[in-house]
């Protein structure tokens, strides 16, 4: 593929990526708007309406405010009145009068009655999802409460009138009898009759006003449609933010390296070699021999750092076989045993290997794979032995293995893991593996930053094919 063809392909991939991200953002926006409307339907808007009424003293009310009450007593009495507003008796009349399809207990949970400071009034507030119904309920509660107080006052007055009427009748009868006998108690009985007549006149003229409404409840502003629109717009905005965030995250995480020319965007401190396929051609072999000649002469070890699970081990097997076919004595050490998705591609997972050597501080026995290609598997206890990667015994074991081979390859985990960092430090140099259509720009950038911060020597970058 020439430079022009690559640029065309790269532009096409960029357009596809932008189209995908645009659709992703649109999907989040639509989803957010639908979620907002759904939330608005599940939690409809509420509307509050308040009615204020003046509380007056009425006959027969044991907790009504009086002119002789102290401020604290009056406040306590008014607060008692506030509780009485939402009594079962009052709310049953409200439910029947409107009528409402709720229970008095449900109606009570939506009603709040407070005593405004420094007043002898009650403020009744009803909150519900029906905008037109809210003022009707608040006003009905006030009317029904006043009706209950009026009935209470009339009942008390009638009871007092009946009592005084009975006393007056008895006094008149006694007066007639005393007058007929010309008894000395006539004057006293006459005075008693006059007093009872005066009390009767007072009771008959007694005021029984339960109070009056000072302000009627009014229809609150707003509508359910506006409520849904607001929630929908809020959901749309949140969806847009989430969509942009998801697109940016995906762009960073899945913006894959698709060609060796993509690496031209990086200032790599090491040369780049492209592996054309599952076997190395003559050009790749010549580059490898030149790249690894210094390590081969000194019997050093080379760390293979992959950025995906199993990547370094698979490429290590391919590289070791290609070098062994060229007459080099190569040993591959599997240092990826602590990877949760570890799989021994050579089928030696049940064999003793590096982990047992670290636990016993002895040089492991290598397994012969091909002519000039030996292998040290991860072993059966990689989790228990991983702590020894940072001790001197690991360096001694790798040095002992290297003495008997031209080149030692160590399959390492990514550099952001403690095992990967420890094994990379034990290697003479590190070869970074970049697999086309598998390695993302984000992972490559993170690995290069890790190498720089850890002071590791990057000996080269291998660009691997999509399939190993």
Domain boundary (158, 192, 215) is at: 215
Least confident of 121-125, 151-155, 222-226, 432-436: 222-226
Q: Is 313 part of any domain?
A: yes
In sign, the C-alpha dihedral spanning 392, 393, 398, 403 is positive
Q: Is 6 part of any domain?
A: no
Token couple for 359: 């636990």
Do both 231 and 321 map to the same domain? no
**Identity of the highest mean pLDDT range in 28-37, 94-103, 181-190:** 94-103
Burial bucket for residue 180 (CB in 10 Å: 0-12, 13-18, 19+): exposed
Give the mean model confidence (pLDDT) for residues 23-42.
Answer: 83
Contacts of 313 (CB under 8 A, 6+ apart): 306, 334, 336, 344, 345, 411
Do both 294 and 407 map to the same domain? yes
Sheet holding 330-334, edge to edge: 272-274, 458-464, 429-435, 301-305, 407-412, 330-334, 373-376, 367-370
pLDDT tops 70 at residue 253? no
For 43-132, where are the alpha helices, taking DSSP H only? Answer: 71-85, 88-97, 104-109
Rounded Cα–Cα distance for residues 118 and 75 (Å):
9
Do both 322 and 407 map to the same domain? yes
What pLDDT score was predicted for residue 67? Answer: 42
**Identity of the highest mean pLDDT range in 4-13, 237-246, 319-328, 335-344:** 335-344
The count of structural domains within the chain is: 3
Do both 438 and 389 map to the same domain? yes
Q: Where are the beta strands (DSSP E) in 177-236?
A: 211-215
Q: How many CA atoms lie within 13 A of 310 on its CB side?
A: 11
pLDDT tops 70 at residue 130? yes
Do both 55 and 116 map to the same domain? yes
pLDDT tops 70 at residue 384? yes
Contact status, residue 306 vs residue 410, Cβ threshold 8 Å? no
Q: How many CA atoms lie within 13 A of 48 on its CB side?
A: 8
pLDDT tens digit sequence for 346-356: 999 889 999 99
What pLDDT score was predicted for residue 280? Answer: 61
Q: Is 5 part of any domain?
A: no
Give the mean model confidence (pLDDT) for residues 69-89.
Answer: 78
Contact status, residue 444 vs residue 307, Cβ threshold 8 Å? yes
pLDDT tops 90 at residue 244? no
CA dihedral 171, 172, 174, 175 (to 10 degrees): 110
CATH number, position 366: 3.40.50.300
Do both 229 and 298 map to the same domain? no
Contact status, residue 175 vs residue 186, Cβ threshold 8 Å? yes
What pLDDT score was predicted for residue 20? Answer: 72
> In the chain, what percentage of residues exceed pLDDT 90?
23
What pLDDT score was predicted for residue 13? Answer: 52
Q: Is 268 part of any domain?
A: yes
Burial bucket for residue 447 (CB in 10 Å: 0-12, 13-18, 19+): buried
Do both 118 and 16 map to the same domain? no
**272 - beta bridge partners?**
461
Angle (nearest 5°) at CA 309 between 389 and 423: 20
Helix (H), strand (E) at residue 301: strand 301-305
What pLDDT score was predicted for residue 64? Answer: 52
Q: How far is CA 252 from the centre of its chain?
A: 23
Place of tokens 């009744």: 124
Q: Which domain holds residue 418?
A: 260-464
CATH number, position 77: 3.30.1890
Place of tokens 């709720």: 102
What pLDDT score was predicted for residue 8? Answer: 52
Give the mean model confidence (pLDDT) for residues 439-452.
Answer: 86
**Identity of the highest mean pLDDT range in 68-72, 331-335, 445-449:** 331-335
Burial bucket for residue 249 (CB in 10 Å: 0-12, 13-18, 19+): exposed
pLDDT tens digit sequence for 275-329: 776 566 677 666 776 777 776 666 678 899 988 888 999 989 988 888 888 788 9
pLDDT tops 80 at residue 224? no
In sign, the C-alpha dihedral spanning 359, 360, 362, 363 is negative
pLDDT tops 80 at residue 63? no
User: Hey, how many other C-beta atoms are within 10 angstroms of the C-beta on 212?
Assistant: 11
Rounded Cα–Cα distance for residues 110 and 106 (Å):
7
> In the chain, what percentage of residues exceed pLDDT 70?
87
What pLDDT score was predicted for residue 65? Answer: 47
Q: Is 4 part of any domain?
A: no
Rounded Cα–Cα distance for residues 161 and 205 (Å):
11
Do both 17 and 115 map to the same domain? no
Give the mean model confidence (pLDDT) for residues 11-29.
Answer: 72
Token couple for 321: 């076989």
What radius of gyration do the chain's Cα atoms show? 47
Is the model more confident about 256 or about 64? 256
pTM above 0.95, yes or no: no
What pLDDT score was predicted for residue 373? Answer: 94
Rounded Cα–Cα distance for residues 89 and 101 (Å):
17
Q: What is the mean pLDDT of the chain?
A: 83
Contact status, residue 35 vs residue 239, Cβ threshold 8 Å? yes
pLDDT band at 66 (very low <50, low <70, confident <90, very high): very low
pLDDT tops 70 at residue 468? no
In sign, the C-alpha dihedral spanning 18, 22, 25, 27 is negative
Do both 247 and 350 map to the same domain? no
Is the model more confident about 43 or about 417? 417
Cis (ω within 30 of 0) for the bond into 99?
A: yes
Give the mean model confidence (pLDDT) for residues 160-178.
Answer: 85
pLDDT tops 90 at residue 52? yes
Least confident of 118-127, 149-158, 393-402: 149-158
Q: Is 210 part of any domain?
A: yes
Do both 102 and 185 map to the same domain? yes
What pLDDT score was predicted for residue 11? Answer: 58
Q: Is 448 part of any domain?
A: yes
Place of tokens 């405004």: 116
Do both 37 and 66 map to the same domain? no
Do both 416 and 278 map to the same domain? yes
Q: Is 297 part of any domain?
A: yes
pLDDT tops 80 at residue 438? yes
pLDDT band at 135 (very low <50, low <70, confident <90, very high): very high
**302 - beta bridge partners?**
409, 429
């Amino acid at each position: 593929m020439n430079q022009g063809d690559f640029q065309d392909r790269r532009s096409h991939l960029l357009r596809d990526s932008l189209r995908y991200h645009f659709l992703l953002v649109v999907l989040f926006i639509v989803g957010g708007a639908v979620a907002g409307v759904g939330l608005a339907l599940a939690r409809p808007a509420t509307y509050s309406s308040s009615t204020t009424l003046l509380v007056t003293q009425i006959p027969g009310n044991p907790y009504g405010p009086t002119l002789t009450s102290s401020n604290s007593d009056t406040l306590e009495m008014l607060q008692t009145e506030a509780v009485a507003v939402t009594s079962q008796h009052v709310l049953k009349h409200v439910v029947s009068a409107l009528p409402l399809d709720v229970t008095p207990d449900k109606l009570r949970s939506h009603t709040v009655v407070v005593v405004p400071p420094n007043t002898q009034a009650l403020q009744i507030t009803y909150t519900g999802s029906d905008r037109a119904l809210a003022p009707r309920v608040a006003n009905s509660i006030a009317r029904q409460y006043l009706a209950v107080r009026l009935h209470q006052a009339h009942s008390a007055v009638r009871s007092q009138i009946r009592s005084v009427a009975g006393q007056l009748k008895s006094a008149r009868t006694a007066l007639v009898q005393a007058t007929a006998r010309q008894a000395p108690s006539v004057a006293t009985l006459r005075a008693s009759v006059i007093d009872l007549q005066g009390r009767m006149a007072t009771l008959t003229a007694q005021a029984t006003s339960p109070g009056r409404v000072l302000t009627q409840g009014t229809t609150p502003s707003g509508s359910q449609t506006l409520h849904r629109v607001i929630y929908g717009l809020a959901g749309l905005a949140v969806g847009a933010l989430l969509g942009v965030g998801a697109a940016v995250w995906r762009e960073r995480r899945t913006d894959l390296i698709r060609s060796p020319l993509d690496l031209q965007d990086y200032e790599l401190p090491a040369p780049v070699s492209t592996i054309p396929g599952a076997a190395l051609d003559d050009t790749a072999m010549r580059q490898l021999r030149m790249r690894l000649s210094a390590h081969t002469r000194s019997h050093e070890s080379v760390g293979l750092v992959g950025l995906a699970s199993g990547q370094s081990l698979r490429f290590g097997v391919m590289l070791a076989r290609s070098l062994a076919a060229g007459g080099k004595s190569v040993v591959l050490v599997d240092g990826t045993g602590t990877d949760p998705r570890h799989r021994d591609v050579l089928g030696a997972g049940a064999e003793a290997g590096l982990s047992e050597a670290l636990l016993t501080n002895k040089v492991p026995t290598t397994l012969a794979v091909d002519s000039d290609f030996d292998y040290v598997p991860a072993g059966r206890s990689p989790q228990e032995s991983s702590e020894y990667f940072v001790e001197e015994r690991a360096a001694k074991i790798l040095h002992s293995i290297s003495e008997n081979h031209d080149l030692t390859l160590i399959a390492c985990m990514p550099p952001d893991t403690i095992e990967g960092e420890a094994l990379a430090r034990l290697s003479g140099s590190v070869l970074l593996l970049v697999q086309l259509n598998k390695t993302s720009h984000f992972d490559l950038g993170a690995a290069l930053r890790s190498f720089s911060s850890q002071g590791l020597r990057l000996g080269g970058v291998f660009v691997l094919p999509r399939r190993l």
